[in-house]
Amino acid sequence: MPEGKIVKALSGFYYVASEDRLIQCRGRGVFRKNKINPLVGDYVVFQAENDKEGYIMEVKERKNELLRPPIANVDQAFLVFSAVEPDFSTTLLDRFLVLVEYNHIVPIICISKMDLANEEQRAGIEHYAEEYRSAGYEVILTSSETEAGVEKLLPHIENKISVFAGQSGVGKSSLLNSLRPDLKLKTSGISSHLGRGKHTTRHVELIEVANGHVADTPGFSSLEFLEIDPEQLTACFPEFQEASENCKFRGCLHVKEPKCAVKAGVENGEIPGYRYEHYLDFLLEIKDRKPRY
């Protein structure tokens, strides 16, 4: 039986790309009984009734999956944050980074709307960009308006499944329109009443861009650390993970333990103080999380 990849899910139908065909499929009835929920990004085996319709017979094993947005087998996430409108937030960025790192997805930080930043704001963004690069992250500064930096995204997209994630209103759809002008994705500015973007993306769909697939997602509707344990949080901060190899105690949580290499890194300026503060906040949030039964 032929195989393919789900590139869109809408109203109970799964659109499977296979070679040069796009087949509209339904899932087998047994899927619901066995609690199998096909996701965009899944590699599947399907049975085609004709050139346009068929049934998904099997969902291949996933390397990862996200529940919100619902997508599987993601290689990397472009975390899109605007320089201004809305203002750049390291707190929110670090929250996204932790969720992406935990799901073993490679993050690429993309700071948009650089054309709207004044000289002082630009200097601040470039300072943050260098600090995140020092932590091991790829950081790309862009503007959809002037298209500056947009071409730097293309080599990362090729042959991969990528998600564009971030707050509403930061310009995810605008960036995709810059990468593929024929898409003409609907964009919307910031709501003056709410101070945040108006939602314009309603479903998850993989779009062909630069020999890869990109999902313009409705965004993470939940940014809570529901699955992460306190002991796993260090691994979600790459510079902490590296420094922690020199901590005196194995399993150090970098809070009150003596001879902690992470705290030493903060004190000597090797680790930014705001990254450590966010780590402590997230750790407390995880510890205070109500148990689920």
Provide the residue ranges of all domains of the chain, joining segments of one domain with +: 3-60, 66-216, 230-287
Q: What is the pTM of this model?
A: 0.86
CATH (one of 3.90.226.10, 3.40.50.300, 3.30.70.3270, 3.40.640.10) for 66-216: 3.40.50.300
Can you give the pLDDT at residue 147?
92
Q: What three-state secondary structure class fits 196?
A: coil
Can you give the pLDDT at residue 222?
63
CATH (one of 1.10.760.10, 1.10.10.60, 1.10.10.10, 1.10.40.50) for 230-287: 1.10.40.50
The whole-angstrom separation of Cα 222 and Cα 270 is 31
Can you give the pLDDT at residue 165?
85
Topology of domain 3-60, per CATH?
OB fold (Dihydrolipoamide Acetyltransferase, E2P) (2.40.50)
Can you give the pLDDT at residue 51?
86
Contacts of 148 (CB under 8 A, 6+ apart): 114, 115, 141, 142
Strand 138-141 to 106-112 pairing: parallel
What does the pLDDT profile of the chain (293 residues) look like in tens digits? 999 999 999 988 999 999 889 999 999 888 988 889 999 999 999 999 888 999 999 999 999 988 777 899 999 999 999 999 999 999 999 999 999 999 899 999 999 999 999 999 999 999 999 999 999 999 999 999 999 999 999 999 999 999 988 887 888 888 988 998 888 776 654 433 333 344 444 577 898 998 899 986 655 656 788 889 999 999 999 999 999 999 999 999 999 999 999 999 999 999 999 999 999 999 999 999 877 65
The whole-angstrom separation of Cα 137 and Cα 69 is 23
> What angle in degrees, to the nearest 10, is found between the helix axes of 90-102 and 273-287?
60
Strand 13-18 to 3-10 pairing: antiparallel
